[in-house]
Chains A and B, each alone.
Chain A
Amino acid sequence: MTQYVLSLWEPVGPPPPPELLEPVMVEVGRIDQDMRDEGVWVFAAGLHGPGSSTVLRSDGDEVLTVDGPYVEAKEHLGGFSVVVVEDVDAVLEWGRRLTRATGLPIEVRPVRHGGR
C-alpha cells in the first residue's frame, strides 16, 4: 500500500458565487465520505487563500519571516487529500472523481516517507 497526496489547484481570486460553489462542495464532501467509508482516507484539508500565507527562510543563524506566498502564481494549492491505496490506478480513480466534481486540475504524488 502506498500513500498519495491529491492536490487541488485553484485559480487565485475570489471564490465562485455560492450557487456555483455549493453543489461542488457537496460533491467534494461526498467523495471525502466515500474515501472514509472505503478505508483509504488518511487526511484532508481545504486551505485559506495565498494571501493568508507566511514564509520562513533560514539565513545563517537567523530565520526571516516574510509575507507569503512562496511562489506568486495564477494557481495555488487550494487543498489536498491524503489517501492510502494499492497503486497509482486506484488513486487516479479518486483523482478523476475530484477533477470531475470541481473542474480543477488534480495533481497526484506518491508519499516517499512519513506515512504509516
Chain B
Amino acid sequence: MLAGPDDVADVYRREYGRAVSVLARSLRDLDAAEEAVQEAFAEAARTWPVTGLPPSPAGWVLTTARRRAVDRLRREGTRGVREHRAVLEGLVGGAVTASAEEVVMSGLPVDEHLPDDRLRLVFTACHPALALPSRVALTLRLLGGLTTAEIAHAFGVPEATTAQRIVRAKAKIRDAGIPYRVPGPAELPDRLAGVLAVVHVVFTEGHTATAGPELGRVDLATEAVRLGRLLARLMPDEPEVLGLLALMLLAESRRPARTDDDGRIVLLADQDRSRWDEALAWEGRTLVRRCLRLGRPGPYQLQAAIAAVHSDAPSADRTDWPQVVALYDHLHALTPTPFVALNRAVAVAEVDGPAAGLALVDAIPLERNHLWHAVRADLLRRLGRDDDAAAAYAAAIERTGNDRERAFLTGRLGALGAARAPRGQA
C-alpha cells in the first residue's frame, strides 16, 4: 500500500501522544521524548511514501522513536553510566544485558498491545501546580501533537508567549518534581477535575471563540472531542469523564445549525433541527444515560443532561423547560456560579415568563460580561421595554470580542429600532 503525506499526518494525529507518553516514561524527560518521536515521524515522512505504510504504523513509530532515543543517548553520553543504564532498562522494560540495545529494536508489536502511558501524561500535563493556560498548551502539545504555532493561533496569543509557556511548564515539571503517574483513589476526584477543566477550556474556545472573525474554531472543538474520547476510553467508569464527552458531543451535534450559510448566528430556538448531526446527538444522549446510571452526578453530567433535553425536543416550543429548570437547580446547588445562575434564569423565563427571568438576572453580578447584557436585552425586548432593551444590546455589543456575536447583537438592536421607528413617527 502506498503512503502519502496524508497517511503520515493521520498516523501523527492518532499516535503522537501515545508515542510521547511511552518514551517519556523511560526517558524521564519530556523534551527528549518529543524529539525522539518527532525524529521518528520525520523518518516516516521520508520512507513511507517509498516503502508503503508499515503493517503497524504505531509500532513502527514507537520502535523508531526508541531507536532514535538510544542513538541520542549514545551520542551525547552526557548521562552517568548508571543513569544511562536505568533509562535503557526503562526502554527495554527489563534488565539490561550486553545486547539490550538490540533487544529494544527487535519485534514490532501489534497496535492493540502497544504500551500506552497517556493517562500518566494527562495527569502530569494537567497538574494543578501548573497554571491553567500552561496546562492547556502542554496538553494540546504533548497529547494532541499540535505545534506551538497552531496552539498560539487557536487561542489568539503570540507564538512566543505559547512557546514560553510550554518551556516553563516543562521546566517546572522537571525541577519541582511533578510526578509521571496516575493519582491514587484519594487524590483522583480533585485531580480529575483539573484534567477535565483543561479539555473543557479547549472545547469552549472551539465552540465559541472569545475573539475573532468566526463563531468557533472547529479544529479546537475537534481536538477537545478527541481528548474527551481518549479520556473516556482510559477512564470508562468515571461518570464526569463520560459527562464531559457527552456534553461536547451534544454541543457539536448542533454545530451545522448554529450558523447560517453566511456564518451568522442562529439561536437554539430558531435552529433547523433537521441539520443537527443525529449520529453525534445519539452518541451524546446514550452517554448521558450511561453516566447518570453510575449514580454520581456532577457538573458536566448535569450540563450534558440539559443538552440532552434540548436534543430530545422535536421543536423549540416542545422543549421540556421545567425539566431544564430542575436540572439547572441541581447544577446550581453543586456549582453556584453566576453563569449557571444566568442560564437558569433563561430557563425560568421560559417556564414563568420574561418578568420572572429578568428579576433573577438583575440579581446576578455579571455586569462585566456581554452574555448578561444580551440575556437582559432579550428579556426586556419580550417585555416590550424597547428603550431598556436597546441600552442592554448596546452594552452587550461593547463587551463581546467575537465578530459573529457582535453582528448578531447589532442585528437584534437594529430590528428593535425598525420596530420602534413607526411608533416614533406616529
Contact = CB atoms under 8 A, between A and B. Distances in A.
B178 to A, nearest CB: 5
Nearest to A85: B177
Interface stretch (A32-40, A41-49, A67-75, A86-94): A86-94
User: Interface of chain B, helix or strand or loop or mixed?
Assistant: loop
B114 interface: no
A87 B175 contact: no
Contacts, number: 25
Interface in B117-166: 127, 129
A57 interface: no
Contacts of A91: 177
B261 interface: no
Interface string A1-35: 01010000000000000000000000000000000
A112 interface: yes
Q: Name which of B176, B179, B183 has the most chain A CB atoms within 10 A of its CB.
A: B176
A112 B179 contact: no
Given A88-B129, A92-B129, A110 B175 contact: yes
A88 B177 CA distance: 5
Nearest to A3: B177
A110 B176 contact: yes
Interface string B269-303: 00000000000000000000000000000000000
Contacts of A4: 177
B262 interface: no
A57 B332 CA distance: 56
Interface size class of B (residues with CB under 8 A): under 10
B102 interface: no
B187 interface: yes
Interface size band for A: 10 to 19
Main secondary structure of the interface of A (DSSP, over half): mixed
Contacts of A92: 129
Contact of B179 (A88, A108, A109): A88
B177 A110 contact: yes
Contacts of B177: 2, 4, 86-88, 91, 110
A60 to B, nearest CB: 34
Interface in B367-402: none
Contacts of B187: 89
18 contacts: A4-B177, A86-B179, A87-B177, A87-B178, A87-B179, A88-B129, A88-B176, A88-B177, A88-B178, A88-B179, A89-B179, A89-B183, A91-B177, A92-B129, A108-B176, A110-B176, A110-B177, A112-B175
Interface of A: 2, 4, 86-89, 91-92, 108-110, 112
Given A88-B177, A110-B176, 14 more contacts: A2-B177, A86-B177, A86-B179, A87-B177, A87-B178, A87-B179, A88-B127, A88-B129, A88-B178, A88-B179, A89-B178, A92-B129, A109-B176, A110-B177
